Amino acid sequence: MNATMQRLAGEMTDLTNKLNALAGMDTATPQEAEHRSAEIARLTAELDTRSKAYEVEEASAAARAKVQARLDAVSSAGLVVPTKRAAPAPLPPLPVMGELRGFDSVDTATAVGRMLSDLGRGRRTEIRAASTHPIGVNTTLEPDSMGEASPTYDGRGSELVAHELYRGILNTIQYESVAARLATWVQVNTDGMYVPLGEDIVEADWYEENCEILPIKPNTTRASLTLKKMGARVQVSNELMDDAYVSVAQIVTRTLGNGFAKKLDKTLIQGDNKIGFAGIAPSIPAGQTVTTAAAGKATIQEVADVIGKVDPLASNRVWLVSEEGWPKIMGLAAGAIGVNVTQGIQQTIFGSPVIRTALLPAKTYAIYGDFSMAAAIGYKSGLTIRSSWERAIEYDQTVFVGTARYAFAVLAAKYLAALKSA
């Protein structure tokens, strides 16, 4: 109700009260009766006039409200905007058989699967470079991928990957990789960097008041961390892309994550000539190696001797045991250290945790020591996932390629020792 309507309502109330008073008025003379009738006629006319004016104002207000409601539902482009509906109740999560590794929830895996499906269908484009060579002419596609055989671009690309997809692959690497748990990781912001070798750790000292505090001079010997590109490719059937988003997310993240994890472990332990890294196992000197007296066997004393070969400053000590060495060391469970080998869920040998791997060189039963002080892995902050739905069109598959950049360096082999078979 606007101000005019409020005023008219007040005036009509006042006129009505006056008419009610005249209705109950008793006239004694003809003159009084004539005056009463004239007053009633006047008040009735005024009440009718104000009533009509009120109806006009009321109709005007209703018309304006109707127009405003229509304007509120029309966008600037002249399109009618539908009335907002209440959000539907959330659906219960889809059941998943087995372990959903790498993702926090089914909804997260579904969202990643949808994004991968969009990539494969061309609804998202994250391809940074395309080769001009037709398939079959140059099978490697390397020379013109970035204009040269060995690209030197900085490798940034994390912005190209959805956060959850990136995290799903990293979670898988962290879960599966031995290197991810043992080595020291260093973020490299350029194509390479130098890190000091960990050959000498200088102690601090105690000083009296006003005495000179002597400097601790870092070792100027250094190791080089030069980034190299690691890549993997996975092809997914288009039927699966359409039918099972969660499965697509799991296949892509686990295939790439497991592939990266295995290569990281194999390179750290055995080395790789392609990137010029020798590996930690071949870098352990002969003086820090214990060879069993008998082939195919190990004794408690030989295991203890391995511990004595490691530099005393090694702190986070771990046993890395091969598939070949596992039954030999576990065979000692019947002896004096049996309780240490089999204690609890986490196996330990003389108090140090045990990690089992199939990547140690042949006849190497175990490597013991502080791997974080012995080796470093450099990484570039960025993981790129690219896709193509035409690359494997003859198989009706969508292709996903993942790339990342890593570097390896041995810092100090004295923090490791090996147990080998005769």
- Whether the per-residue pLDDT at 333 is higher than 90: the answer is no
**Tokens describing residue 259:** 């592939």
- DSSP element (H, E) containing 369: strand 364-369
Taking residues 315-332, what's their average pLDDT?
87
Q: Cα separation of 409 and 411, whole Å?
A: 6
H/E stretch holding 407 reads: strand 397-410
pLDDT band of 80, cuts 50, 70, 90: low
**How high is the pLDDT of residue 17?**
79
Indicate the pTM of the whole model. Answer: 0.60
Query: How much is the pLDDT for 74?
Result: 56
Q: pLDDT higher for 299 or 79?
A: 299
| Residue bearing the bigger pLDDT, 114 or 260 | 260
**Which has more pLDDT, 200 or 383?**
383
Angle, in degrees to the nearest 10, between helices 30-72 and 3-23: 160
* Size (the chain), residues: 422
**Position 151 confidence tier, pLDDT thresholds 50, 70, 90:** very low
- Whether 248 has a pLDDT exceeding 90, the answer reads no
Max Cα–Cα distance, the chain, nearest Å: 147
**Mean pLDDT lowest among 133-142, 266-275, 358-367, 412-421:** 133-142
Q: Which residue has the higher pLDDT, 158 or 5?
A: 5
Residues 6+ apart with CB under 8 A from 233: 399, 400, 401, 402
**Is residue 394 a contact partner of residue 231, using CB atoms and an 8 Å limit?**
no
Residue 15 in this model has a pLDDT that exceeds 90: no
Q: 344 pLDDT exceeds 60?
A: no
Structure token digits, residue 166: 């990136």
Handedness of CA 34, 37, 39, 41 (dihedral sign): negative
Mean pLDDT within 376-404: 81
Rounded to whole angstroms, the Cα distance separating 249 from 161 reads 13
pLDDT at 45: 87
Distance of CA 378 to the CA centre of its chain: 19
- Model confidence at 139: pLDDT above 70: no
Amino acid at 15: L
Q: Say how far apart CA 411 and CA 47 lie, in whole Å.
A: 103
Find the mean pLDDT for residues 50-62.
85
DSSP strand pairing (364-369 vs 318-322) = antiparallel
For residues 359-383, one letter each, b for 16 or more C-beta atoms within 10 angstroms of the residue's C-beta and e for the rest, the string is bbbeebbbbbbbbbbbbbbbbbebb
Instruction: Tell me what pLDDT residue 153 has.
Output: 38
What is 102-422's CATH number? 3.90.1690
CA distances from 254 to 53, 154, 241, 406, 421 (A): 78, 26, 16, 19, 35
Query: In this model, does residue 133 exceed pLDDT 70?
Result: no
> Across the chain, what does the average pLDDT equal?
75
Query: Domain extents for the chain?
Result: 3-72, 102-422
80: Cβ contacts below 8 Å, ≥ 6 apart: 73, 74
398 and 122 in contact (C-beta within 8 Å)? no
The contacts of residue 274 (CB under 8 Å, 6+ apart) are 228
CA–centroid distance for 178 within its chain: 20
Element (H, E) at 120: helix 106-120
When computed from its CA atoms, the radius of gyration of the chain, rounded to whole angstroms, is 41
Q: What is the DSSP string of 302-328?
A: HHHHHHHHS-TT--S-EEEEETTHHHH
Task: List the structure tokens of 91.
Answer: 């659906």
The H-or-E segment that residue 290 falls in is: strand 289-291
Using pLDDT thresholds of 50, 70 and 90, give the confidence band for residue 270: very high
Rounded distance between C-alpha atoms, residue 298 and residue 363, angstroms: 12
More confident residue, 142 or 52: 52
The pLDDT of residue 152 is 40
The Cα 228–Cα 407 span in angstroms is 6
What's the mean pLDDT in 164-182? 79
Q: Are 333 and 342 in contact (CB under 8 A)?
A: yes
* Mean pLDDT confidence for 109-121: 64
Q: Are 398 and 138 in contact (CB under 8 A)?
A: no
Task: Pick 3 or 361 by higher pLDDT.
Answer: 361
Q: How confident is the model at residue 164 (pLDDT cuts 50, 70, 90)?
A: low
Torsion angles phi and psi, residue 418, rounded to 5: -125, 150
* Least confident window among 42-51, 99-108, 146-155, 298-307: 146-155
The average pLDDT across 26-43 equals 81
Answer yes or no: is pLDDT of 373 > 80: yes
